[in-house]
Chains A and B, each alone.
Chain A
Amino acid sequence: MINAAAMVLSAILTMALGGGGGYHPRQFLLAGIASLAVAALFWRLLPALAAPAMPAA
């Protein structure tokens, strides 16, 4: 459900940024900058996330 919600949110964002369709390469730039912020957030969360490595199935 959360994945589906993310997809819907992405579609809404794309429509909002695109302003009625067409090609908008600046969306790559905006997504990249937003991803930088998420990367910084995950670096802060890393001590909580990182536990001893687990064996893969």
Chain B
Amino acid sequence: MVNLTVAGLIVVRRARRLGQQPGDSGDAPAAAPAPFRWNLLAATARLIREAVEWPVPFRAMLGSPGSGLVGALYLAQFPSLCAVRAAAARNRRHLFSPSSRSGSAPGRCCATGCCAARISARTVPWGMLGLALFSIDLWLPARPPVGGTRADPVSAFLAQPAGWRILVDLFGIAVSGRRLYRAALRAVADRERPAPARPARSAPTT
């Protein structure tokens, strides 16, 4: 833990040094933050009115929560899916979670083009198509078994082809929805944002 903390401090110091402009001491005060707007609804309405004038980032902004919408819908079904398809209450969460979360890394590689380190909006429809196909494919093995629900232990779940199919589908949904689709849309919104609102140094994807 101490090693990680020290390593983090070193990385932060080096990043700050790299980020300094020539002749910049690094101690200059940052620009004053904008005042906080307490009326969130009015502020949001104003931001949306401004965003409508920029069709491309506005569409990207509207489309970006799409994967979150589908993801929240799936999350609501996950406990029941686990209960129906894999029992072992202590383990089932650990079974499904790595599959969906590990999809983020390869998805990010695909979205950024790995070697080329570039992001393209062309992955957006492919990401949504993948999300759709993996979701439809998930529907078949996710149905309760004939004869009522069966609470298999994890080992029995993994011994069935349907179990692996569920894990592959969750992985594919994570790759498609969270990275190929959402990361690319966020990058589009960031790229097309009006220049004054764009931060000086920002990571376009998360």
Number of interface residues of A (CB under 8 A): 42
A1 closest partner in B (C-beta): B44
Contact B69 A50 (CB under 8 A): no
Given the interface pairs A39-B129, A42-B124, the reply to whether A6 lies near B69 with Cβ below 8 Å is: yes
CA distance A38 to B76 in the complex (A): 21
Kindly state the separation between the CA atoms of A23 and B121 in the bound complex, as whole angstroms.
Answer: 35
CA distance A39 to B134 in the complex (A): 13
Cross-chain contact of B119 among A23, A27, A28, A56 (Cβ < 8 A):
A56
Q: State the interface size on chain B (CB cutoff 8 A).
A: 60
Residues of B within 8 A of A34 (CB): 132
In B72-115, which residues have CB < 8 Å from any A CB? 72-74, 76-77, 80-81, 83-84, 112-113
Chain A's closest residue to B201 (CB) is A57
- A33→B137 CA distance, assembly (Å): 11
What is the distance, in angstroms, from B151's C-beta to the closest C-beta of chain A?
Answer: 13
Within 8 A of B (CB), among A1-31: 1-3, 5-7, 9-11, 13-14, 18, 22-29, 31
CB distance B72 to A56 under 8 Å? Answer: no
Residue from A6, A25, A46, A57 within 8 A of B77 (CB atoms): A25
Chain A residues at the B interface, C-beta cutoff of 8 Å: 1-3, 5-7, 9-11, 13-14, 18, 22-29, 31-36, 38-40, 42-43, 45-46, 48-51, 53-57
In the complex, besides A10-B68, A23-B81, A54-B191, 4 extra interface pairs with C-beta distance below 8 angstroms are A7-B69, A23-B144, A46-B125, A55-B117
